[in-house]
Structure 1
Amino acid sequence: MATRPLLAALSIILVVLAALPLVAQTPPPGSGTPAADPAPPQTPAANAVHEQDKPYFEACAREGLTASQCAGRLIWFKATAGNERFHTYVFQQRVGVLIDWFRVLRADQRDDRFRAWGIINDPACCVPGSANCPAQSLDETYGLDWCPGDEELLRYVGREGYRDPACDFVDAPMAEGDPHGPADQRQSACDLRFGTSTGALGIRKFPNPRFDKAAWQQLNGRLGTWDGYNRRIPAAGGAAEPERSRLMDGAVEPPFLIGTSCGSCHIAFDPLNPPTDPAHPQWENIKGLIGNQYTRISEIMVSGMASNTLEWQMFAHARPGTSDTSAIPTDQVNNPGTINALINIPQRPVFANEAVLKWRKVNSCGEGGGNANGGADETRCWCEPGRNGKCWKKSMQQDTVHHILKGGEDSIGALEAIQRVYFNIGSCSEQCWVNHLSDLRQLDPQQRGFGQTPFDIGQCRRDCPNFRAIEDRLGNLLDFFMSAEAAATDLRAARENVLRMRSPGARYTEQDLIADLEREFGPNAVARGRDVFANTCARCHSSQPEAAAGQFAALDFHKLDLKSGLRQDWLGNDKPTPASEVGTFRCRALHSNHMAGHVWQEYGSETLRAQPPDPNIKEPGDGGRGHYRNISLLNLWAHAPFMHNNAIGPELCGKPQHAENDFYAQRPRYVDGSLVKLLPPGQQPACVAYDPSVEGRYQLYKASMMELLHPGQRLPKVTLLNQDVTLRIGPRLWDGTERETLLGFALTIPAEIEGRGVTAGTLGNFQHKQFVVDLVHARTAPEETRSALRQRLGDETGGRVFDDLRAIGEELAGKPNALVEALRARPYLVKQAYSSCTAEIENEGHRFGEDLPDGDKNALIAFLATL
């Protein structure tokens, strides 16, 4: 039979099956050890201080930050590096994932924001019309909060000429010995792009000069709402088909362009000084580096999608405090991970003599030097035009680096790891990296966009001024990471602060903490727990050289470093451990974006990629994949639930007032023992409401530790589709009303197959491109395809897959609708043979300590609470 009908059918059907979602997330940055600039903070001249900056300078003074650390803090909290275009245009219109910013940021639901989205409200902002708020009505602010700086910004909604507050940013002095000094040649601070606050810390707004006030008012009824802009439009196919909205309509311009800073995920409540009311925090309650364990960043990113879309089903399930760092540059591995707590960074382990190919600062590219490249190859060395000796050279060297991200993937240096965070939040997308991503709708292996291509740091530096603006200040950001704001937040100090709120002179010593813990967990529990930890956990969760040598008896886990004043032990060694040894949900360990030929190739070291795969997992683990780094246990009391996906421990929920934002109610996770269906509502364990108080964090820690140490008692957690997903194929004639002509046919992805629930990961991990290639090749090159499948999957499985591919080719001839039924009849193809990760149970593994006596388990819980 001719292959043309088969190819024609695939070109229609799989364009939709390929439409897996992309969601912008923010990965945890790395760290380093350069000495901080010792100069004191420099407050700008009085006439240059923006009202919105004053609380930040006050925080710098409160924490005793240096000028460099303070500059880094302001950038971390505010700089979007131009990603407001990405979040308004590229993400919505090119990627096709819709953010409903009004739903997330609307001022009339400010008090419910934290419970709904885990958002940290900006203490300086207010709801228009409330007491002492400069704005009297929502129409003045187009429905959002009024924030300092808006008196200027709002004047430029719908017109050009806005001067970004970043233009008045006062740079810290350049670091002594910088190869690009001594003259200050940094890229204009305007390209940091601050805008003003939206009312949510880390989410910034900019006036849209293209905004048409009259058209907006006609569409929405008034200026203070976006209800017409984001109103759902019923599809002609009925309730089964996803509704749409004008969020994707490029002809309608919103009043603001919305951008995000790195702080949008990392700004959080201080465990030492949490707010009395999380909806109304004060500046003293806020830290910039510990990570927001309540954020619903994935739900924010699909907030404009209907719940029966692929995008919503796959991404509106990441637990609070987690994000998928490979979601935009998708590698089709469904792997949300925790937003790391950046604590005691100067003590974080580093690894010497790793092979690193990267760009390094130099002051010349050879002959000609200075401003010119002197004939040098710009792919290897480049000097910035108009600058004097501001050059970079790409070279391979042996470096001392950190291992960052969950598998240690960012491994070419702390500065570069911080820089890459800005790409993950959308900076320089159009100039630099969108065209390097795999186009999930492109099914021709010969065409660009079929697979990823490596992002080019040198090209991005040349073409994106926002890149240079951040790069020139990476030292300030790193110094901020090394500052007191990243210092450990011990339970002893937190409890003392609680007592001092009632009695300012109260004290709570280490002995008081030990006495309280031993009243709760038994006599001598802390000392006994120290021995259990040393002998059971320290080989992975200690950074002391003695632990690496197996000498556990003399380890002092509380000893302070005399130079930094921080605890000497980082309580983690950051070394890679095979995923099968840890036993936890392994999908994150299979993340592939740092492999050679993939988008973030230039951010992984050659040493990382030479790491041997885990031989005990069936999925491919080449290119350094298949491992988790051993994380730090510092301040574990404040950061439960546990594991890289926050799956071990109670499920968290916000219990917001508005039911449509109650994501846990929409996606319960506990399943029956056969993993077929969710437990009935009456048998689902209750979720634990967000409680950032000292006691709330401590109670969550204890519950999570009990689940960690008693794996046999864990109820399995699996994220299942909660409704069928219907996709329309064929041309659409859309006139913006309910009257729509639909041609073609519908495909339905069922929530159940053969009575078994379909996991969200089944869709996210389906390697549809390889499936299409093999399906075609099974017809055009059968012997080669049979051999390749047997080599990849083993003789038995490979032979079965080949036979089924041939059969499906026969079934599809002239019947394009038959593909779903063909896959429904052979679910193993999607769930196993063509899955990047076949793991399903999200809270399995890490069974270390399972066999300890109950007394030792309690002692371990007591001891870890002191760290």
Structure 2
Amino acid sequence: MQAQDAPYYAACAREGLDASQCAGRLIWFKATAGNDRFNTYVFQQRMGVLIDWFRVLRSDQRDDRFRAWGVINDPGCCTPGDPNCPAKSLDETYGFDWCPGDAELLKYVGKPGYRDPACDFKDAALKAGDPHGPEDQRQSACDLAFGTSAGALGFRKFPNPRFDRDQWIALNGRAGSWAGYAKPIPAAGGSGEPAKSRLMDGSVEPPFLIGTACGSCHIAFDPLNPPKDPAHPAWENIKGLQGNQYSRISEIMVSGMATNTLEWQMFAHARPGTTDTSAIPNDQVNNPGTINALINIPQRPVFAGEQVLRWHKTRACEGQPEAVCWCEPGREGKCWEKSLQTETVHHILKGGEDSIGALGAIQRVYFNIGSCSEACWMNHLSDLRQLDPQQRGFGQTPFDIGQCRRDCPNFRAIEDRLDNVLDFFMSAEARATDLREAREHELRKISPTAEYSDQDLIADLNAEFGDGAVARGEQIFKQTCARCHSSSPEAAAGNFDAIDFHKTDPKSGLRADWMGNDQATLVSEVGTFRCRALHSNHMSGHIWAQFGSETLRARPPDPNVKEPSDGGRGYYRNISLLNLWAHAPFMHNNAIGPELCGQPANKANAFYAMRPRYVDARDLSLLPPEKQPACWAYDPSVTGRYDLFKASVDALLHPDQRMPKVTLLNEDVTLRIGPRLWDGTDKEKLLGFSLTIPATIDGRGVNAGTLGNFQHKAFVVDLVQAKFKPAEVEKRLVAQWGEQEGKRILADLKGITEEVTRQPNGLIEALKKRPYLVKKIYSSCFAEVENAGHRFGEDLSEADKKALTAFLATL
């Protein structure tokens, strides 16, 4: 065992985890599966989206890191020069925290030969009856790729053997500075071009490659035992499966981009605790969703009778083609066979899209955060700059699980240990964290023998919300909410009066009711911001098709949605309400309830101040600063979570009183299309044309989601064909939009073609005259107001709404 793993094994002992659960926990917290190359090279140089890892993880701003980025500081790390820190200077660590394991890792910055700590990972025993046993033939644990902590939990660093220290110092002035590396490159700085830095310049190598583990989003503060100071947590304050509701992972992913770039404006609008899981495998649907709290997973509903086409473990292939059966070379009887079977599976993600089983869903997360990108999936992505439908990269193509298993050892390293990760999900660390227990824990900080019973909680809630509020609220919940938010057999049978929401399962000891049935509900019935429900990556022919069941894709589209919603789209799961008190704000985008902000000392990272959300209900124009409600500062304390819960439930139950929220562009965005010439000065000449997307049009702000949802490829194809094949275009448009609207669209396409022919830089002006083309006709989602919908319970009396709030606090 590596010395740096000691706190992790101590946590396993504290939680009572067995060997398999503990192995899964270590993988969840540390394994990057090789995505350090993606985060350092592929994303930045091939996709042109820049991450400034130093800006996020610089040690001299360690105390500001949680407030700025929402990430959880690693309790084992320290700022060089602080008392008791082994590193005495930031130059020793190249400006990063010193973390356990760095005494060895730092020796290999700029040198080959580093041996990853994952090579010493102690595997749990194989499951009894595993078809690939009894001999242990798992892929080398080295390919889990742990590295050492980068200072924040879930973020890992690796020494870059190509680093040149002398070149680095010449560029930055000293080893611990990144000032020159992040400085704009002069050749890209002329003519108003958005700034780019050497993050994209492959001629300069950074000292570290940065990888991310699944825990980078899911590790969070324990609601039962939050830290006194969030910037200085202890290991006892941290859980791995809660989901970090303060994380600004979207801002992290564009931390090296200028704010007037298309990428920054499209990425950096997800709220704290949410992320657009299709931002990298882009489907041009603006769809940030909450980072899930993985609670009471053994009680989560499963769905029988699903038609699932996936790979299954087998012992031999018997001459079958590699496309349907493959045996790993050098292994005895370690084979996989692809077949369609009827199975019982979970439905995972906001619309239940991951539906080939929990193990497959866990594996897909690693691809979504960059593992095996070059070997397996980068070439399946749509190139947003490719406008010719005959060329590769015009649209997505399906990721091939079989090909990736064959070609990527990191895939096999994770896949061979998925059972351990799932066992961790089933462990005590994922148990519910009730308000009663949290309050008792707070009291015991003062008096170690203090007790706070269920009756004490009920008494306090009744005192706050009215006599008998909890009991009355339970009856209201049964009448109003339980049809969606209960997994009990009684709810499925419609016998709501018989439900005991707090009954425990005799086998697991967990709450028997998961407080959600996980059934798919049409988005038009839920009524919330629908863009996430139109996520398309799991459709046939799209990148994650092999992670969706055939049953999923057979779901009929929502008949009340005008946007395309075929292929199983157009639904939201009825999620669990367990521990609702600890996980506000609400809905899949955290939009219902107060807006959260970190209020960092470094105002360059004060992201909420850059993107105020509240708009005038009459015309959706941005409210002036003096009318913008104040954001709520991050407060993971028991009292802070509870107060946020109450404010969010109040917003939930009073939809007519919600001040609408829309995320707007906060700067003009200029796109330059064509080659550039540079004469060695800070000026450059563009051979081509530029398009400026204004932040406001006719006094109204431009919705940032409109950019993400604009189907520009289909628009350009139709624009060209309107000139050369108008009859074909008209037939297609009339079939989709009706005769009158279809002919109007064609006429406008022809008009734009003529205008742009006369004035090549006039495309934006031409579209400004016809905004419906961008907002409706060529948009994947028309929705604008982000906190609308879910109007269930709005007709209750004020007393009943208070009672319902009181009962929800007991879940």
Q: TM-score, normalised by structure 2?
A: 0.99
CA distance in 2: counterparts of 1:237 and 1:194, whole angstroms: 38
The CA distance in 2 between the partners of 1:270 and 1:736, in whole Å, is 55
1:520-553: CA deviations, max 9, x gaps?
Answer: 0000000000000001000000001211221111
CA contact 1:570–1:634 (8 Å) conserved in 2: yes
Select between 86-95 and 542-551 the one with higher mean Cα deviation. Answer: 542-551
**1:705–1:833: structure 2 CA closer, same or farther, 3 Å change rule?**
same
Query: Which one-letter code corresponds to 1:477 in the other structure?
Result: V
Q: 1:111 to 1:472 in 2, by over 3 A?
A: same
SS in 2 for 1:409: coil
Deviating more after overlay: 768-777 vs 267-276: 768-777
Cα distance per residue 1:569-625 (max 9 Å; x no partner) = 000011000000000000000000000010000000000000011000100110000
Structure 2 residue corresponding to 1:64, chosen from 13, 16, 21: 16
Aligned partners of 2:188 and 2:195 also within 8 Å = no
Specify the code of the residue in structure 1 equivalent to 2:646. Answer: K
Task: Give CA deviations for 1:310-331 in whole Å, capped at 9, x if unaligned.
Answer: 0111111110000001111111
**Pick aligned residue for 1:448 from 392, 399, 404:** 392
Residue 321 of structure 1 is matched in structure 2 by 273
Q: What is the CA RMSD across the aligned residues, in angstroms?
A: 1.1
For residues 736 and 124 of structure 1, the distance between their equivalents in structure 2, rounded to whole angstroms, comes to 47
Asked if 1:753 is matched to 2:705, the reply is no
Q: Higher relative contact order at CA 8 Å, sep ≥6: structure 1 or structure 2? A: 1
3-state SS, counterpart of residue 633 of structure 1: coil
State how 1:80-95 maps to structure 2 within 5 Å: 80-95=32-47
Of stretches 777-786 and 301-310 in structure 1, the one that deviates more from structure 2 is: 777-786
1:563-712 pair list within 5 angstroms: 563-712=507-656
Q: Once the two structures are superposed, what CA deviation does each residue of 1:217-241 show, in whole Å capped at 9, x if it has no partner? A: 0000000011100013467776843
Aligned counterparts of 2:392 and 2:671: Cα–Cα separation in 1: 26
Matched ranges for 1:201-350 at <5 A: 201-233=153-185, 240-350=192-302
Q: Does 2:771 correspond to 1:827?
A: yes
| Deviation, structure 1 residue 754 | 2.4
Q: Provide Cα deviations, 1:629-686, integer angstroms capped at 9, x if missing partner.
A: 1000000000000000000000000000011100000000000122342111011000
Q: Return closer, same or farther for 1:863/1:445 CA change in 2, 3 Å cut-off.
A: same
Pair 1:521 & 2:465 matched: yes
Code of the aligned partner of 1:221 = G
1:678 partner SS: coil
TM-score, length-scaled by structure 1: 0.93
Matched residue, 1:192: 144
Asked if the contact 2:710/2:778 (under 8 Å) is kept, the reply is yes
- Amino acid aligned to 1:721: L
Separation (CA, whole Å) in 2 of partners of 1:796 and 1:143: 63
Moved more, 773-782 or 304-313: 773-782
Q: 1:106 aligned to 2:106? A: no
> Is the partner of 1:813 in helix, strand or coil?
helix
Q: How many angstroms does 1:776 deviate by?
A: 1.3
Q: Does 1:728 align with 2:672?
A: yes
**Per-residue deviation, residues 198-232 of structure 1 (Å, max 9, x unmatched):** 10000000000000000000000000011100013
1:491 aligned partner: 435
Pick closer, same or farther for the CA change 1:67–1:759 going to 2, 3 Å: same
Which residue is 1:397 aligned to?
Answer: 341
- Letter in structure 2 aligned against 1:410: D
Q: How does 1:410-421 map to 2 (within 5 A)?
A: 410-421=354-365
- Cα separation, 1, equivalents of 2:566 and 2:581: 36
Matches within 5 A, 1:139-218: 139-218=91-170
Shift of residue 815, structure 1, vs aligned partner: 2.8
User: Identity rate of aligned residues, in percent?
Assistant: 77
SS of residue paired to 1:356: strand
Indicate if the aligned counterparts of 1:235 and 1:243 stay in contact, CA closer than 8 A: no
Contact 1:271/1:693 (<8 A) preserved: yes
- For 1:708 and 1:498, how far apart are their aligned partners in 2? 28
What residue in structure 2 maps to residue 786 of structure 1?
730
Q: Distance in 2 between matches of 1:152 and 1:737?
A: 44
Q: Does 1:353 align with 2:297?
A: no
User: Tell me, what secondary structure is at the counterpart of 2:729?
Assistant: helix
Offset from partner CA, 1:310-357 (integer Å, 9 cap, x none): 011111111000000111111100010000000000000000010000
Partners in 2 of 1:128 and 1:598 — Cα distance? 47
Return the letter of the residue paired with 1:536.
T
Q: 1:772 Cα shift?
A: 1.0
Q: 1:862 aligns with which of 802, 806, 809?
A: 806
Q: Aligned residues, how many?
A: 811
Q: Which runs of 5+ in 1 are unaligned?
A: 1-48, 367-374
2: CA distance, partners of 1:315 / 1:838:
18
How far apart in 1 are the matches of 2:757 and 2:594? 50
8 Å contact from structure 1 (residues 236, 741) kept in 2:
no
The answer to whether the Cα contact below 8 Å between 1:241 and 1:725 also exists between their aligned partners in 2 is no
The counterpart of 1:510, out of the listed 446, 454, 461, is 454
SS of the residue corresponding to residue 553 of structure 1 reads helix
| Residues 518, 862 of structure 1: 8 Å contact kept | yes
The whole-number CA distance in structure 1 between the counterparts of 2:464 and 2:537 is 46
1:91 partner letter: F
AA at the equivalent of 2:563? E
CA distance in 1: counterparts of 2:240 and 2:426, whole angstroms: 12
User: Deviations for 1:765-820, whole angstroms, at most 9, x for unmatched residues?
Assistant: 00011111111111222112111001112222222111101111112225321211
Q: Do residues 384 (structure 1) and 328 (structure 2) align?
A: yes
Contact 1:577 1:627 in 2 (8 A): yes
Alpha carbons 1:156, 1:209 under 8 Å: kept: yes
Q: Aligned partners of 1:806 and 1:197: how far apart in 2?
A: 57
